[in-house]
Amino acid sequence: MEITQRHEGERLELLLAGRLDASWADHVGNTIQDAVRAGEHHIVLHMAGVHYISSLGVGVLVRQLQLLQTVNGSLTISQPSVACRTVLTLCGLADFFQLDGSKRAEAKLAASTRTVTRGGATYQVFPRAEAQPLSCTLVGLPERLRSTGFTAADCRPVNFASGSFGLGLGAFGEGFADCESRFGEFLAAAGCAIALPTNDRHSPPDYVVEQGDMVPRVETLYALAGAGDFSSMVRFDALSEGPGTIGLSEFVEALIELSGSDLIAFVALAEAAGLVGASLQRSPAMRPLSLDLPDVRDWMLFTTQRTKERSQVLLVGVAGRRIPECAASFMRPMKTDAKVMAHIHGALFPYRPVQRGELPYAKTVAEIFTHSTPSTVLHLMADTRPFEGVGESDLLRGACWMGPLRAITEG
């Protein structure tokens, strides 16, 4: 079996020649799987040169079709030989594989209203209805993390129902006394909240998903709590001819430009090549965080090296070039001397491809928890130390919902 690859627009075309039987079926299947992991979700098999296909070969194609359907992709067959068409028709699979082309896949791809290439990535922008403009409430005083620590007077419960988002320091529980030993990083989006407890450094994140009358509630020490409708859904892909990844600062700068605003909020589901950040290992209740050596090692867990293992990450962030004075203490430069300020948290999940096409916000976020559970929550930041620094988080591709922040108020 010979397999030749070529790109045609948004599609990867595989030209097959030979027998699709027990000797070659797995090879074809692995080639398709490798392409999906590389971000190819619309694949066309040219099978004019395939003069025999066995039941095993048919089974491999069906499994790859099912894989691509889980990520809103497509697997089509172009110019099948008489032998292939006959077998697939007898098996009742002709319609599933769209033997006469890939018109449906092309129609989906044409739904994008705008495509922009910036730096090392392409961005497809899908406008969304914006009935309620995005707004954000500032909860608490983050500067107390370093100065005095937090007391019961700083603790405020915040509900994160569908239509809201948020990030900061908090915990699940009933009031300050119940959560005192567990306050850590949290994020919330689309009726789902994830918090990393600090009472045991080996504890995985806990999460609450909105169900019926049960709405996620976080006892917060400080938070950026937002609500409203995102004005755009953005698909992003690193260009293969470039570095092959998108730096987090480059990604956020692109979102700001696409939004046409100096201040944005966003939620993103991304395939990540490496993440750089930190998380608290001790609760800052009743005691301030120390960044002095060696105390900081008991307080913080830093990513000291870039992981080579891919992951899926749910990001929630607020970023901008011009930050209102009231929000300055909540934000940090994305990199040394960077013009963009941001506060971004990420929840890590096992690697899973992000579906292609225009995705619904709430449903897509909620479905993450049906397939896996988060392994940690990180406050994402760049490590730009000379020689020792590991850089910043790198993304490969994914989906993002974002929009201009129309108002920031103090809670």
C-alpha span between 235 and 54 (Å, rounded):
38
Q: Using only C-alpha atoms, what is the Rg of the chain?
A: 24
Q: Is there a single domain that holds both residue 323 and residue 363? A: yes
Report the pLDDT value the prediction gives residue 10, as an integer from 0 to 100. Answer: 74
pLDDT, position 65: 87
Beta bridge partners of 20: 53
**Domain of residue 67, CATH code:** 3.30.750.24
Instruction: Look at the chain and report how many structural domains it folds into.
Output: 2
> What is the structure's pLDDT at 42?
87
* Judgement on whether residues 298 and 405 belong to the same structural domain of the protein: yes
Tokens coding 108: 């989906």
Q: Is the domain of 322 the same as that of 212?
A: yes
Same-domain check for residues 69 and 119:
no
CA atoms within 13 A on the CB side of 202: 0
Assess whether 331 and 191 both reside in one domain.
yes
Q: Could you tell me if 276 and 386 lie in one domain? A: yes
Residue 386's pLDDT is what? Answer: 64
Q: Which of 109, 124, 139 is the last residue of a domain?
A: 109
Residues 174 and 291 in one domain: yes
**What is the model's pTM?**
0.76
Q: Are 233 and 398 in contact (CB under 8 A)?
A: no
Same domain, 43 and 139: no
Do 82 and 223 reside in the same domain of the chain? no
Residues 156 and 68 grouped into a single domain: no
pLDDT score for 229: 93
At residue 230's C-alpha, the angle toward residues 224 and 231, to 5°, is 140
144 and 51 in a common domain: no
Which helix (H) or strand (E) element contains residue 45?
A: strand 42-53
The residues pairing with 386 across neighbouring beta strands, listed in sequence order, are: none
Residue that is last in its domain, among 94, 109, 124: 109
pLDDT score recorded for residue 240: 83
Give pLDDT, residue 92: 75
Q: What is the pLDDT along the chain (411 residues), one digit of tens a residue?
A: 789 898 877 788 898 988 888 888 889 999 998 888 888 888 999 888 888 898 788 888 888 888 888 777 888 888 888 888 888 877 777 777 766 544 444 444 444 468 899 999 999 999 887 788 999 999 999 999 999 999 999 999 999 999 999 999 999 999 999 999 999 999 999 999 999 999 988 889 999 999 888 999 999 999 999 999 999 999 999 998 888 999 999 999 999 999 999 999 999 999 999 899 999 999 999 999 988 888 888 898 887 555 557 899 999 999 999 999 999 999 999 987 778 999 999 999 999 899 888 899 999 999 998 888 999 999 998 877 665 667 899 999 999 999 999 999 998
Determine what percent of the chain falls in helix, strand and coil, rounding each to the nearest 5.
Answer: 25, 40, 35
Full residue range of the structural domain in which residue 151 is found: 113-411
Domain end call among 109, 138, 172: 109
In this structure, are 104 and 190 located in the same domain? no
The conformational region for residue 39 under phi > 0 = left, psi -120 to 50 = alpha, else beta, is: left
